[in-house]
Structure 1
Amino acid sequence: MLKMQFKLFTLVLVLMMLVVVGCGTSTKTQPNSDTKAQDQNQNSDKIVLKLAHDQQPNQGYGIGVNKMVQEVKDKTNGKVEIQVFDRGVLGNERDVVEGLKMGTIDMAIITAGTLTNFEPKMAAINMPFIFRDWDHVNKALEGPIANEVFPAIESKQKIKPLAVYALGFRNIATTKKEIKSVDDLKGLKIRVPQAPVFLSTFKALGANPTPMAWGELYTSLQTNVVDGFENSAQVMDQFKMYEVTKYLTITNHIWEGGVVLISDKAWEKLTPEFQQVLQNAAQESAKYQRDQVKAQDEDMIKSLKDKGMKVTQIPREQLEKVAKPVYDELGKQYGIESLIKEIQGL
């Protein structure tokens, strides 16, 4: 009997020790679980915004983007991070705008020409010969464009414009024919963006405007699908278009820029303080980027000449006269007659 009681006592003692050890292990691991949860909470405080554009990382838009990304990081102590997807890896501009509207893309830089398809007032930026020079551009962007066009985009499209980066004044590059006058443009197939202002402008100039995705252009010039294209000297040099074109004609027919946009969904993730930081960073980086593009314009034209392109120029007066009907046609169509006059009067 005593022997059985001793065995029972021993069994109870062993079970108690196992319970104590088990409880001790549970108590010991609990702080580690709490620490892990705290780390996860800290990581979730960080807001990551994905920004898409189709330029090179250190040229064009990239000049401003790099500055904006760093400023946002510094001013938010790393709590807001902008991840950049450049060179068009997230799709063409129209697809990216749709992504912004749906909230699947946080931020993007989209040309005014493409945005005209979503907000007609944006056509004012691209009207032929509307800007006299770079100072005039800056006055318009910080005045009528910011005050009238930006609110229209935001209210209709659920995307918020923050600032405008520059691509610069656009010129014409051709493969086989040198352009010395407006008459030389007649019948030429010139690649243009899928935007009414560009189509109407080149129809008025007597050319055959041919909309085409930018990614298809290089090969299309090689295979004579088109006779030429129009864009800024910056872009021509950046994408090595001098390899497939021989002639550069200075026309400065249209100034083009890219609007820095953020989806409403992404904007609402930010506190008011961080919204202000992003707004300021976008505007300050845009001014810096436009100044850089302006300073580089002449250098880029010289660079293209050094790389083998023959450079000519058509007098502005000759071009303005031919393109004047575009104002009558599109000004009325888009309801921007007063906006055009306001910009011209600055």
Structure 2
Amino acid sequence: MNDMTLKGCLAAAALCMAAIPSAGFAAEVELRLGAGFPEGELLANPITKLAELIEEKSDGEIDATVFYQSLGTQQQLAQAVMSGTVDIGSMANGNAARFTDAFLVFDLPFLFKEYNNLFKTLDQPAGQQIIGTFEEDLGVKYLFAMNNAGGRDIQTRETPVRTPADIANLKIRTTSSPIDMVTFRAWGATPTPVDFGQLYSATQQGVVDGFQFGKTILLSAKLLISTQN
């Protein structure tokens, strides 16, 4: 998942976060929003819509500019939000593991019978405690969770995958989540963390043999072009 916050924006599917402002807003405010995906791509759309709503609800007194895939990797974008050089950004919950273990529980399999229950959990006391830990560890304000288009399937450049044994000895792209990595290691694969923005070229160049994403993301990001199975 992805999370968003106000000092910065993180994309539990994806997290949106924001930098914590140090002073009151001036009469006219400029906000820098970072998206780790190309404009028009599925996971960039929530940031685009957020920028539109900010300008609409402020009657144009706040100028919200989105920088698409131009502020570095998700880790670099999160660090920019933490430092205040970017106001809002997004990051996958798995990649948030580089900074906090708050969201690691959501990397465990089969926790929820329905996907929407994940988001409902964030509104419950346990979810609010998780969000509080995230905010404290990163020094940012959590804004909202962004849908990452459901569960994940494994795609590879050349090897057909029908059972876990089929990915043995393959380099599979993962997030930085230790749970994500140990899962693929248990199946005999070599987990290889690669930022989403670098995944297309990493697959084409053979840096990784495959990756795991939902079909909607595959179509939106044109990743099917770089895989056969």
TM-score scaled by structure 1? 0.55
* 1:240 equivalenced with 2:217 (yes/no): no
CA 1:45–1:144: 2 relative to 1, 3 Å = same
1:148 corresponds in structure 2 to: 129
Query: 63, 71, 81: which is aligned to 2:63?
Result: 81
CA 1:146–1:72: 2 relative to 1, 3 Å = farther
Query: 76, 99, 105: which is aligned to 2:86?
Result: 105
Return the alpha-carbon distance in structure 2 between the equivalents of residues 187 and 178 of structure 1: 14
Query: 86, 93, 109: which is aligned to 1:128?
Result: 109
Post-superposition offset of 1:165? 0.5
Amino acid at match of 2:181: L
Post-superposition offset of 1:146? 4.2
Aligned length, in residue pairs:
203
- Which sections of structure 2, spanning at least 5 residues, go unmatched? 1-25
Return the alpha-carbon distance in structure 2 between the equivalents of residues 152 and 231 of structure 1: 27
2:43 corresponds in structure 1 to: 61
Return the alpha-carbon distance in structure 1 between the equivalents of residues 49 and 29 of structure 2: 18
CA 1:234–1:107: 2 relative to 1, 3 Å = same
Post-superposition offset of 1:170? 1.6
Higher helix share: 1
- Which sections of structure 1, spanning at least 5 residues, go unmatched? 1-43, 248-346
Return the alpha-carbon distance in structure 1 between the equivalents of residues 66 and 81 of structure 2: 15
Amino acid at match of 1:181: T
3-state SS, counterpart of residue 116 of structure 1: helix
Post-superposition offset of 1:202? 0.8
C-alpha RMSD of the superposition: 1.9
CA 1:164–1:145: 2 relative to 1, 3 Å = farther
Return the alpha-carbon distance in structure 1 between the equivalents of residues 182 and 112 of structure 2: 18
Q: State how 1:1-346 maps to structure 2 within 5 Å.
A: 45-86=27-68, 88-143=69-124, 146-168=127-149, 169-247=151-229
Post-superposition offset of 1:178? 0.9
Post-superposition offset of 1:72? 2.1
Post-superposition offset of 1:175? 1.3
State which structure, 1 or 2, has the greater radius of gyration over its C-alpha atoms: 1
Amino acid at match of 1:109: S
Amino acid at match of 2:153: N
Return the alpha-carbon distance in structure 1 between the equivalents of residues 206 and 111 of structure 2: 32
CA 1:55–1:234: 2 relative to 1, 3 Å = farther
Aligned residues of 2:185 and 2:191 also touching (Cα < 8 A): yes
